[in-house]
Amino acid sequence: MFGALHMWWLVLLIGIPFVGFALYGAFDSWRRLHGIMRATAMLGADESLNITCAIGVDLTARPKKGQPVDPVVQSFILRAESGEDKDATLLNLLEGDIANGGFLQLYKNKGERFIQAGIALLRRIGSRSALRIVEQALMLIQKERATLENYERLLKKLDRLDSRFWRLKESIPVLYERYRQQREG
């Protein structure tokens, strides 16, 4: 199972892109796809960790022994990752952002036009359920655009305050210790 200790190793590895892969030792394959580095770590019999820098990280169940990999899914992924089939690439990116961070991440990373292109493609391929959900998400984003813009402004302001706070010259532990000693003494 993928424990907390392994997660910290992953954080360190992602923080130092691809330098630590050999050190970790669990990665059994990686390849270069149009300038994107990809690595797969076998975490045990049931799981693998797939890292595609700088796109994202996912944890997927490995097929059981004797359980065939779906050739249609495998073919779709190969076409999408090669970049040669633009429709497969768009659908893969759409699903990937939703699976990784939800519709807000999809909107922030790809924008409204990308979502509209995804909706059009979902309609062309005959999707019903996914199409309906993505359409509802887009309608909500459009309806709440002002809220999202306010949220973005708030995040920028808070980020500036975060930076200022972490650059402080005063030490809270030192100030507290001084306060504690004055209170007790």
Tell me the pLDDT tens digit for each residue of 141-177: 999 999 998 998 998 999 999 989 888 888 888 889 9
Structure token digits, residue 143: 């309806």
Task: Tell me the whole-structure pTM to 2 decimals.
Answer: 0.54
So what's the pLDDT on residue 21? 39
Q: Cα–Cα distance between 54 and 148 in angstroms, integer? A: 25
Q: For residue 67, what pLDDT is reported?
A: 66
Distance between CA 97 and CA 92 in Å, rounded? 9
- Cis omega (within 30 of 0) for bond into 26: no
Q: Are 72 and 89 in contact (CB under 8 A)?
A: no
The confidence score (pLDDT) of residue 39 equals 52
pLDDT at 50: 61
Domain ranges of the chain: 1-63
Phi, psi of 168 (to 5 degrees): -55, 145
* Predicted local confidence at residue 29, as pLDDT: 34
Enclosing H/E stretch for 89: helix 86-124
Closest CA to 34 of 77, 84, 76, 72: 84
Per-residue tens of pLDDT for the chain, all 185 residues: 444 444 444 444 444 444 443 333 333 333 333 334 445 555 555 565 665 554 455 556 666 666 667 888 888 999 999 989 999 999 999 999 999 989 999 998 999 999 999 999 999 999 999 999 999 999 999 999 999 989 989 989 999 999 898 888 888 888 899 999 999 98
**C-beta separation of 94 from 118 below 8 A:** yes
Task: Quote the pLDDT of residue 146.
Answer: 92
Beta-bridge partner residues of 59: 49
Residues 6+ apart with CB under 8 A from 31: 38
The pLDDT value given to residue 57: 53
Query: Is beta strand 36-42 parallel, antiparallel or unpaired with respect to 56-61?
Result: unpaired
Q: Is the dihedral of CA 48, 52, 54, 57 positive or negative?
A: negative
Cα torsion 47, 52, 57, 62 to 10°: value is -10
